[in-house]
Structure 1
Amino acid sequence: MGERPGSAEIGHNGGPTMEAGFGFRKLAWTKARSALLPSLPLEVVRLRVTRAKRLGLPYQTYATIRATSGHDIVAFLFSGNALDLRPGQAVLAPSVTAHLDALGGQADRIGAIYAPTDPQAIAAAQPGLFEGLGRAPGFTATWRETREGVRALLAARGLPRDGVVLVAATSIERGWSSAAGLAGTIDRATFFATPPAA
């Protein structure tokens, strides 16, 4: 008995079908997306370039996140690894502190800290540096536990998930973004490469 076209078969990963018209749909979507940026008024592009500099991000990175999420970046969520914290360490490196301090006022700074380090110890060691601190999902946390843990961190500050960008250092941490429905993910090295402009 034959299968219906597009129906799931053994070994099918549930991805998009490759049926007739796939190439045209992909071409049309790519053209529509690339046509978006050139159609922006010059003043809007200038404002966004300035905003990217104030966040310390390459313009292409900022523009991609904004185009994908449809919203501006209102906060960054930093994993403990992205902050370069070792177990039990509460004091951040001076370069990390300076970068986060320069970001102040441009976007909220939220830290997701791994046990055994106490998030309150980090708040006490760097007063006023973070708008929010909490416990990071454990490395053995389920997808659901990760989603709920990350969302709870943001809900405590009333932050919209699609306006928050994750700054991560490991592949496990990068999974937090899709689990919690965040605006996107930036690698630690990219984020800390350029300090925010004044």
Structure 2
Amino acid sequence: MEDIIRFFDSHAEKWDSYWKEEEFGIIRKILERSSLSQEDSVLDIASGTGILVPYFLEFGVVASCIQGIDISPKMVEIFSQKFPQIPVICGDFLLKTLPENNYSYAIIFNSFPHFLEPEKVFEKVSKLLKPKGKLVVAHTKTREALDRHHQNSGSTVRTHRLLEDKLFLQYYQKYGFTDVILDNSLYFYTQGVKK
């Protein structure tokens, strides 16, 4: 875990400069597709520097109803500088205590392969979401493009891969999610609704 923290800390200062213009359009498509609304209370898991925050606000989510969490202290520091009105926690999502049945929308964006215990992520999110709450796991790249990107990085994340669809489906169902969507056509997108 320490090597992952070091990796993201080392990239935090330049992180926002890595984004390409077309990715911002995909972010909007992801949030539209998942029906994010101003009534939602949002848990942004692996929130990084807060790349999604302006879009949450654009969709009408109230700042006090957004909670970020990230394992990288430097990412969290930048998040806090950019968005001092948005609460963000620094720490391992699986180890931090968060209020159960509290969120209507949880998103893991451009980060899921970096979770070393993916099944436990589904289990924990299921406890944190209210009934009918949504979990969205999405990436701006397709599975194949993302896996190539990590493999070619030559760094700590070179072996990080997305789960196979059958495992996504299995974990969504095992932890009480229905109406599961799995799509890898133009970008990677999954969604489940808690019973």
- Pairwise TM-score range, normalised by the shorter structure: 0.3 to 0.5
Give the TM-score normalised by structure 1. Answer: 0.37
Structure of larger gyration radius = 1
Query: Which structure is higher in RCO with an 8 Å CA cutoff and minimum separation 6?
Result: 1
* More strand, by proportion: 2
